[in-house]
Amino acid sequence: MERTILHCDCNNFYASVERLYHPELRDRPIAVSGDPELRHGIVLAKSNEAKKLGVKTGHPLWMAKQLCPDIVFVKPHYDLYTHFSQLARNIYSEYTDRVEPYGQDECWLDMTGTAKLLGDGKHIADTIRNRIKSELGITISAGVSFNKVFAKLGSDYKKPDATTVIPFDGFREFVWPLPVSNLIFVGGATTKVLERKCIRTIGELANTDRSTVKSWLGKCGETLWLYANGYDSSQVAKDGEQPTIKSIGNSTTLSRDLVGYDEIKITLMVLSESVAARLRRHNMQCETVQIGIRGTNLSWIERQGRLPIPGCDSTTIYLKALELLVQNYQQGKPVRSLGVRACNLSARQYIQTSFMPSVHRTQRYEKIEDVIDKLRFRFGNKIVQRGIMLSDTGLSTLDPQADHPNLILSSVHTQR
Ligand SMILES: [Mg+2]
Protein backbone atom coordinates (compact mmCIF):
# COMPACT_ATOMS: atom_id res chain seq x y z
CA MET A 1 0.00 0.00 0.00
CA GLU A 2 1.32 3.43 -0.90
CA ARG A 3 1.93 5.45 2.21
CA THR A 4 0.79 9.02 2.88
CA ILE A 5 3.39 10.92 4.88
CA LEU A 6 3.18 14.57 5.84
CA HIS A 7 6.05 16.75 6.99
CA CYS A 8 5.04 19.95 8.77
CA ASP A 9 7.60 22.69 9.37
CA CYS A 10 6.91 25.91 11.30
CA ASN A 11 8.17 28.86 9.25
CA ASN A 12 10.81 31.09 10.87
CA PHE A 13 9.71 29.55 14.13
CA TYR A 14 11.48 31.70 16.75
CA ALA A 15 10.90 34.94 14.87
CA SER A 16 7.22 34.10 14.24
CA VAL A 17 6.58 33.39 17.93
CA GLU A 18 8.36 36.61 18.96
CA ARG A 19 6.17 38.58 16.55
CA LEU A 20 3.03 37.33 18.26
CA TYR A 21 4.22 39.11 21.38
CA HIS A 22 5.50 42.18 19.53
CA PRO A 23 2.79 43.06 17.00
CA GLU A 24 4.57 46.36 16.33
CA LEU A 25 7.30 44.33 14.61
CA ARG A 26 4.87 42.63 12.23
CA ASP A 27 6.27 43.96 8.97
CA ARG A 28 9.79 44.74 10.11
CA PRO A 29 12.87 42.59 9.57
CA ILE A 30 13.75 40.96 12.88
CA ALA A 31 16.40 38.60 14.19
CA VAL A 32 16.27 36.62 17.41
CA SER A 33 19.75 37.03 18.76
CA GLY A 34 22.12 37.27 21.66
CA ASP A 35 22.43 40.61 23.40
CA PRO A 36 23.28 43.27 20.77
CA GLU A 37 25.39 45.04 23.40
CA LEU A 38 27.80 42.12 23.35
CA ARG A 39 30.59 42.15 20.83
CA HIS A 40 30.20 38.46 20.09
CA GLY A 41 26.41 38.32 19.64
CA ILE A 42 25.11 36.24 16.73
CA VAL A 43 21.82 35.70 14.87
CA LEU A 44 19.87 32.67 16.15
CA ALA A 45 16.86 33.05 13.83
CA LYS A 46 15.54 35.62 11.42
CA SER A 47 12.32 36.72 9.76
CA ASN A 48 11.68 36.43 6.03
CA GLU A 49 12.33 40.14 5.45
CA ALA A 50 15.82 39.81 6.96
CA LYS A 51 16.44 36.54 5.11
CA LYS A 52 15.69 38.18 1.78
CA LEU A 53 18.48 40.68 2.42
CA GLY A 54 20.96 37.88 3.04
CA VAL A 55 20.92 37.61 6.84
CA LYS A 56 21.78 34.07 7.93
CA THR A 57 21.62 32.13 11.18
CA GLY A 58 25.06 32.28 12.75
CA HIS A 59 25.95 35.70 11.34
CA PRO A 60 27.49 38.09 13.85
CA LEU A 61 25.12 40.93 14.66
CA TRP A 62 27.29 43.62 13.06
CA MET A 63 27.10 41.74 9.78
CA ALA A 64 23.32 41.36 10.02
CA LYS A 65 23.07 45.10 10.63
CA GLN A 66 25.28 45.79 7.63
CA LEU A 67 23.13 43.62 5.34
CA CYS A 68 19.89 44.89 6.77
CA PRO A 69 20.24 48.29 8.47
CA ASP A 70 16.60 48.34 9.70
CA ILE A 71 16.88 45.00 11.46
CA VAL A 72 15.47 44.77 15.00
CA PHE A 73 17.21 42.38 17.40
CA VAL A 74 14.96 40.51 19.82
CA LYS A 75 16.14 38.38 22.76
CA PRO A 76 15.13 34.70 22.69
CA HIS A 77 12.38 33.24 24.92
CA TYR A 78 12.95 29.51 24.78
CA ASP A 79 10.13 28.60 27.15
CA LEU A 80 7.69 30.19 24.69
CA TYR A 81 9.13 28.21 21.76
CA THR A 82 8.78 24.95 23.71
CA HIS A 83 5.19 25.90 24.54
CA PHE A 84 4.26 26.63 20.93
CA SER A 85 6.04 23.53 19.73
CA GLN A 86 3.85 21.46 22.07
CA LEU A 87 0.68 23.26 20.93
CA ALA A 88 1.48 22.43 17.30
CA ARG A 89 2.16 18.77 18.20
CA ASN A 90 -1.17 18.62 20.05
CA ILE A 91 -2.93 19.63 16.84
CA TYR A 92 -0.99 17.05 14.77
CA SER A 93 -1.90 14.36 17.30
CA GLU A 94 -5.59 14.92 16.65
CA TYR A 95 -5.08 13.45 13.17
CA THR A 96 -2.78 10.49 13.81
CA ASP A 97 -0.95 8.69 16.59
CA ARG A 98 2.14 8.58 14.40
CA VAL A 99 3.71 11.97 14.99
CA GLU A 100 7.50 12.03 14.96
CA PRO A 101 9.21 15.28 15.91
CA TYR A 102 12.32 16.32 14.04
CA GLY A 103 13.81 19.19 15.99
CA GLN A 104 11.61 21.63 17.81
CA ASP A 105 9.57 22.96 14.91
CA GLU A 106 9.20 20.02 12.51
CA CYS A 107 7.19 16.79 12.61
CA TRP A 108 6.40 13.87 10.35
CA LEU A 109 2.84 12.53 10.38
CA ASP A 110 1.85 9.17 8.96
CA MET A 111 -1.63 9.50 7.45
CA THR A 112 -1.61 6.21 5.55
CA GLY A 113 -5.08 4.69 5.15
CA THR A 114 -7.04 7.67 6.44
CA ALA A 115 -8.10 9.09 3.04
CA LYS A 116 -11.70 7.82 3.29
CA LEU A 117 -12.09 9.26 6.76
CA LEU A 118 -10.17 12.55 6.54
CA GLY A 119 -9.58 13.22 2.85
CA ASP A 120 -6.36 12.84 0.90
CA GLY A 121 -2.91 13.97 2.07
CA LYS A 122 -3.15 17.41 0.53
CA HIS A 123 -6.54 18.03 2.06
CA ILE A 124 -5.30 17.05 5.54
CA ALA A 125 -2.15 19.15 5.12
CA ASP A 126 -4.20 22.19 4.13
CA THR A 127 -6.58 21.65 7.03
CA ILE A 128 -3.73 21.40 9.54
CA ARG A 129 -1.97 24.40 8.00
CA ASN A 130 -5.09 26.54 8.34
CA ARG A 131 -5.72 25.39 11.89
CA ILE A 132 -2.17 26.22 13.01
CA LYS A 133 -2.50 29.64 11.40
CA SER A 134 -5.84 30.49 12.99
CA GLU A 135 -5.30 28.81 16.37
CA LEU A 136 -1.62 29.57 17.01
CA GLY A 137 -1.05 32.59 14.79
CA ILE A 138 2.03 31.16 13.08
CA THR A 139 2.41 29.55 9.66
CA ILE A 140 3.72 26.15 8.61
CA SER A 141 4.73 24.69 5.30
CA ALA A 142 3.74 21.11 4.59
CA GLY A 143 5.09 18.41 2.31
CA VAL A 144 3.01 15.38 1.29
CA SER A 145 4.59 12.31 -0.23
CA PHE A 146 4.93 8.54 -0.10
CA ASN A 147 8.01 8.57 2.11
CA LYS A 148 9.57 10.69 4.84
CA VAL A 149 12.47 11.98 2.76
CA PHE A 150 10.28 13.43 0.00
CA ALA A 151 7.71 14.75 2.48
CA LYS A 152 10.53 16.75 4.09
CA LEU A 153 11.72 17.88 0.67
CA GLY A 154 8.16 19.03 -0.07
CA SER A 155 7.88 21.18 3.07
CA ASP A 156 11.19 22.86 2.22
CA TYR A 157 10.19 23.36 -1.42
CA LYS A 158 7.72 26.18 -0.90
CA LYS A 159 7.43 28.38 2.16
CA PRO A 160 5.93 30.07 4.03
CA ASP A 161 2.36 28.84 4.42
CA ALA A 162 2.21 26.37 1.54
CA THR A 163 1.54 22.71 0.80
CA THR A 164 3.63 20.79 -1.74
CA VAL A 165 2.66 17.34 -2.94
CA ILE A 166 5.25 14.97 -4.41
CA PRO A 167 3.25 12.01 -5.74
CA PHE A 168 4.67 8.57 -6.37
CA ASP A 169 3.70 8.84 -10.03
CA GLY A 170 5.96 11.52 -11.36
CA PHE A 171 8.30 11.97 -8.40
CA ARG A 172 11.26 11.75 -10.76
CA GLU A 173 10.10 14.72 -12.83
CA PHE A 174 9.62 16.71 -9.64
CA VAL A 175 12.61 15.72 -7.52
CA TRP A 176 15.40 14.87 -9.92
CA PRO A 177 16.03 18.37 -11.35
CA LEU A 178 16.49 19.81 -7.79
CA PRO A 179 19.95 20.54 -6.35
CA VAL A 180 21.37 17.55 -4.50
CA SER A 181 21.75 19.68 -1.36
CA ASN A 182 17.94 19.78 -1.06
CA LEU A 183 18.03 16.14 -0.01
CA ILE A 184 17.96 15.53 3.75
CA PHE A 185 21.41 14.83 5.27
CA VAL A 186 23.27 16.29 2.29
CA GLY A 187 25.25 19.02 4.05
CA GLY A 188 28.02 21.30 2.88
CA ALA A 189 30.81 18.70 3.00
CA THR A 190 28.81 16.04 1.10
CA THR A 191 27.72 18.61 -1.49
CA LYS A 192 31.38 19.47 -2.10
CA VAL A 193 32.38 15.83 -2.55
CA LEU A 194 29.51 15.31 -5.00
CA GLU A 195 30.27 18.53 -6.87
CA ARG A 196 33.81 17.30 -7.45
CA LYS A 197 32.26 14.22 -9.06
CA CYS A 198 30.04 16.48 -11.22
CA ILE A 199 26.89 15.50 -9.31
CA ARG A 200 24.77 18.59 -8.92
CA THR A 201 21.17 17.37 -8.95
CA ILE A 202 19.28 14.67 -7.10
CA GLY A 203 18.68 12.99 -10.46
CA GLU A 204 22.40 12.84 -11.23
CA LEU A 205 22.94 11.15 -7.87
CA ALA A 206 20.06 8.74 -8.48
CA ASN A 207 21.44 7.76 -11.88
CA THR A 208 24.98 7.13 -10.73
CA ASP A 209 25.91 3.54 -10.00
CA ARG A 210 25.00 2.66 -6.42
CA SER A 211 28.38 1.13 -5.63
CA THR A 212 30.19 4.14 -7.09
CA VAL A 213 28.34 6.49 -4.72
CA LYS A 214 29.18 4.10 -1.88
CA SER A 215 32.85 4.22 -2.81
CA TRP A 216 32.80 8.04 -2.58
CA LEU A 217 30.78 8.50 0.60
CA GLY A 218 30.66 5.11 2.32
CA LYS A 219 27.48 3.73 3.84
CA CYS A 220 25.92 7.21 4.03
CA GLY A 221 26.39 7.57 0.29
CA GLU A 222 24.48 4.38 -0.30
CA THR A 223 21.64 5.65 1.88
CA LEU A 224 21.54 8.93 -0.06
CA TRP A 225 21.44 6.99 -3.33
CA LEU A 226 18.42 5.06 -2.03
CA TYR A 227 16.73 8.31 -0.97
CA ALA A 228 17.34 9.91 -4.37
CA ASN A 229 15.66 6.92 -6.01
CA GLY A 230 12.62 7.11 -3.74
CA TYR A 231 13.52 4.03 -1.70
CA ASP A 232 12.99 5.31 1.84
CA SER A 233 10.90 2.91 3.86
CA SER A 234 11.67 4.30 7.33
CA GLN A 235 8.62 4.45 9.56
CA VAL A 236 7.16 7.47 11.30
CA ALA A 237 7.61 6.71 15.00
CA LYS A 238 4.45 6.36 17.05
CA ASP A 239 3.65 9.18 19.45
CA GLY A 240 5.64 8.56 22.62
CA GLU A 241 7.42 5.57 21.09
CA GLN A 242 11.08 5.70 21.99
CA PRO A 243 13.37 4.86 19.10
CA THR A 244 16.28 2.64 20.13
CA ILE A 245 18.84 5.01 21.54
CA LYS A 246 22.16 4.81 19.72
CA SER A 247 23.78 7.83 21.32
CA ILE A 248 22.96 10.66 23.69
CA GLY A 249 24.28 14.11 23.02
CA ASN A 250 23.81 17.77 23.66
CA SER A 251 25.18 20.80 21.95
CA THR A 252 25.03 24.51 22.46
CA THR A 253 24.21 27.27 20.07
CA LEU A 254 25.58 30.21 21.91
CA SER A 255 24.43 33.76 21.61
CA ARG A 256 28.09 34.79 21.64
CA ASP A 257 31.49 33.19 21.13
CA LEU A 258 33.30 31.46 23.95
CA VAL A 259 36.79 32.75 24.44
CA GLY A 260 39.42 31.04 26.58
CA TYR A 261 39.62 27.65 28.23
CA ASP A 262 37.78 28.72 31.40
CA GLU A 263 34.54 29.42 29.54
CA ILE A 264 34.99 26.38 27.32
CA LYS A 265 35.59 24.14 30.36
CA ILE A 266 32.41 25.32 32.07
CA THR A 267 30.37 24.76 28.92
CA LEU A 268 31.89 21.28 28.45
CA MET A 269 31.05 20.46 32.05
CA VAL A 270 27.44 21.64 31.66
CA LEU A 271 27.08 19.51 28.55
CA SER A 272 28.78 16.49 30.15
CA GLU A 273 26.54 16.71 33.21
CA SER A 274 23.39 16.75 31.13
CA VAL A 275 24.59 13.90 28.89
CA ALA A 276 25.62 11.80 31.92
CA ALA A 277 22.32 12.45 33.73
CA ARG A 278 20.38 11.35 30.66
CA LEU A 279 22.52 8.21 30.34
CA ARG A 280 21.72 7.29 33.95
CA ARG A 281 18.04 8.04 33.44
CA HIS A 282 18.04 5.45 30.65
CA ASN A 283 20.19 3.13 32.77
CA MET A 284 22.92 3.15 30.15
CA GLN A 285 26.66 3.67 29.96
CA CYS A 286 28.90 4.75 27.13
CA GLU A 287 32.20 3.51 25.80
CA THR A 288 33.02 6.42 23.50
CA VAL A 289 32.85 10.17 23.98
CA GLN A 290 32.54 12.46 20.99
CA ILE A 291 32.93 16.21 20.88
CA GLY A 292 31.92 18.68 18.20
CA ILE A 293 33.37 22.17 17.85
CA ARG A 294 32.26 25.00 15.64
CA GLY A 295 34.59 27.94 15.27
CA THR A 296 33.79 31.37 13.91
CA ASN A 297 34.20 30.16 10.33
CA LEU A 298 31.12 27.97 11.01
CA SER A 299 32.83 24.70 10.08
CA TRP A 300 31.98 21.83 12.42
CA ILE A 301 34.66 19.35 13.47
CA GLU A 302 34.02 16.12 15.34
CA ARG A 303 36.50 14.00 17.27
CA GLN A 304 35.97 10.94 19.41
CA GLY A 305 37.85 8.87 21.92
CA ARG A 306 37.33 5.69 23.91
CA LEU A 307 37.04 5.50 27.67
CA PRO A 308 39.25 2.97 29.48
CA ILE A 309 36.06 1.38 30.80
CA PRO A 310 32.42 2.24 30.00
CA GLY A 311 30.92 4.87 32.28
CA CYS A 312 27.98 7.16 32.87
CA ASP A 313 29.35 9.83 35.21
CA SER A 314 29.93 13.38 34.14
CA THR A 315 33.52 13.64 35.41
CA THR A 316 34.69 10.77 33.21
CA ILE A 317 32.83 12.14 30.20
CA TYR A 318 34.02 15.68 30.87
CA LEU A 319 37.69 14.70 31.24
CA LYS A 320 37.58 12.79 27.96
CA ALA A 321 35.80 15.66 26.21
CA LEU A 322 38.36 18.14 27.51
CA GLU A 323 41.26 15.91 26.44
CA LEU A 324 39.80 15.71 22.91
CA LEU A 325 39.30 19.45 22.80
CA VAL A 326 42.83 20.24 23.94
CA GLN A 327 44.23 17.85 21.34
CA ASN A 328 42.14 19.17 18.49
CA TYR A 329 41.48 22.82 19.01
CA GLN A 330 43.96 25.62 18.99
CA GLN A 331 43.96 27.47 22.27
CA GLY A 332 42.67 31.03 22.11
CA LYS A 333 40.53 30.54 19.01
CA PRO A 334 36.92 31.61 19.71
CA VAL A 335 34.30 28.84 19.83
CA ARG A 336 30.81 29.42 18.51
CA SER A 337 29.25 26.10 19.34
CA LEU A 338 30.19 22.99 21.33
CA GLY A 339 28.73 19.52 21.55
CA VAL A 340 29.30 16.44 23.71
CA ARG A 341 27.92 13.03 22.75
CA ALA A 342 28.02 9.64 24.44
CA CYS A 343 28.29 6.81 21.88
CA ASN A 344 28.63 2.99 21.90
CA LEU A 345 25.95 2.64 24.54
CA SER A 346 25.24 -0.47 26.54
CA ALA A 347 23.12 -1.34 29.56
CA ARG A 348 24.67 0.00 32.74
CA GLN A 349 26.65 -2.61 34.66
CA TYR A 350 27.84 -2.58 38.19
CA ILE A 351 31.22 -4.24 38.42
CA GLN A 352 31.70 -5.66 41.89
CA THR A 353 35.36 -5.27 42.60
CA SER A 354 38.38 -4.38 40.64
CA PHE A 355 42.01 -3.74 41.25
CA MET A 356 42.15 -1.15 38.47
CA PRO A 357 42.30 2.32 40.04
CA SER A 358 40.39 3.84 37.11
CA VAL A 359 37.48 1.45 37.70
CA HIS A 360 37.42 2.37 41.36
CA ARG A 361 37.44 6.04 40.54
CA THR A 362 34.67 5.79 37.94
CA GLN A 363 32.49 3.76 40.26
CA ARG A 364 33.00 6.28 43.05
CA TYR A 365 31.99 9.13 40.72
CA GLU A 366 28.93 7.18 39.60
CA LYS A 367 27.86 6.53 43.19
CA ILE A 368 28.20 10.21 44.04
CA GLU A 369 26.20 11.20 40.97
CA ASP A 370 23.45 8.69 41.75
CA VAL A 371 23.06 10.45 45.10
CA ILE A 372 23.12 13.85 43.38
CA ASP A 373 20.40 12.66 40.96
CA LYS A 374 18.20 11.77 43.93
CA LEU A 375 18.86 15.08 45.67
CA ARG A 376 18.10 17.03 42.53
CA PHE A 377 14.94 15.05 41.91
CA ARG A 378 13.68 15.92 45.41
CA PHE A 379 14.94 19.45 45.90
CA GLY A 380 15.55 20.86 42.42
CA ASN A 381 18.60 21.15 40.23
CA LYS A 382 20.30 23.94 42.09
CA ILE A 383 20.61 21.97 45.34
CA VAL A 384 24.05 20.70 44.35
CA GLN A 385 26.40 22.56 42.02
CA ARG A 386 29.96 22.06 40.97
CA GLY A 387 32.63 24.46 42.12
CA ILE A 388 33.56 25.15 38.48
CA MET A 389 30.08 26.65 37.98
CA LEU A 390 30.80 29.25 40.63
CA SER A 391 33.85 30.74 38.96
CA ASP A 392 33.48 34.35 38.01
CA THR A 393 32.90 34.18 34.27
CA GLY A 394 29.30 35.20 34.05
CA LEU A 395 28.38 31.68 32.97
CA SER A 396 27.88 30.59 36.57
CA THR A 397 24.09 30.86 36.55
CA LEU A 398 23.83 27.86 34.22
CA ASP A 399 21.53 25.07 35.20
CA PRO A 400 23.69 21.99 34.66
CA GLN A 401 20.80 19.57 34.75
CA ALA A 402 18.61 21.15 32.12
CA ASP A 403 17.92 18.73 29.31
CA HIS A 404 18.90 21.39 26.84
CA PRO A 405 21.63 23.47 28.42
CA ASN A 406 21.91 25.41 25.18
CA LEU A 407 18.66 27.04 26.07
CA ILE A 408 20.12 28.44 29.22
CA LEU A 409 23.56 29.11 27.87
CA SER A 410 22.16 31.11 25.02
CA SER A 411 20.43 33.52 27.33
CA VAL A 412 23.38 34.04 29.63
CA HIS A 413 24.93 37.47 29.72
CA THR A 414 28.60 37.87 30.23
CA GLN A 415 30.25 40.37 32.42
CA ARG A 416 33.20 41.67 30.54
MG1 LIG B 1 11.21 25.63 10.51
Structural domains present in the chain = 1-162 (3.30.70.270), 170-239 (1.10.150.20), 248-410 (3.30.1490.100)
Please report the pLDDT score of residue 155 as a whole number.
97
The whole-model pTM stands at: 0.66
Q: What is the mean pLDDT of each run of 10 residues along the chain (416 residues)?
A: 95 94 91 73 88 89 93 89 93 94 90 90 97 97 98 96 96 97 89 94 97 91 95 84 75 78 87 90 88 84 89 92 90 87 82 58 78 76 72 48 39 28
Beta strands in 252-299 (DSSP E): 284-295
Closest CA to 135 of 48, 25, 30, 20: 20
Q: How far is the CA of 159 from the centre of ligand 1 (A)?
A: 10
Consecutive H or E run containing 249:
strand 248-251
Q: How does 87-108 read in b/e, with b if 16+ C-beta sit within 10 Å?
A: ebeebbeebbebbbeeebbbbb
CA of 411: how far to CAs of 29, 46, 272, 380, in Å? 21, 17, 19, 20
Q: How far apart are CA 270 and CA 34, in angstroms?
A: 19
204 is catalytic: no
Going from the Cα of 365 to the center of ligand 1, the distance in angstroms, rounded, reads: 40
- In the prediction, which pLDDT does 353 show? 46
CA of 9 to the centre of ligand 1 (A): 5
Neighbours of ion ligand 1 (CB under 5 A): 9-10, 13, 105
pLDDT at 240: 62
Question: Alpha carbon of 168 to those of 47, 117, 146, 223, 230: distances in Å?
Answer: 33, 21, 6, 19, 8
Q: Which one of the listed residues 18, 106, 273, 369 is annotated catalytic?
A: 106
CA of 256 to the centre of ligand 1 (A): 22
336 C-alpha to center of ligand 1: Å?
A: 22
Give pLDDT, residue 322: 94
β-strand partners of 73:
31
Q: What is the pLDDT of residue 399?
A: 44
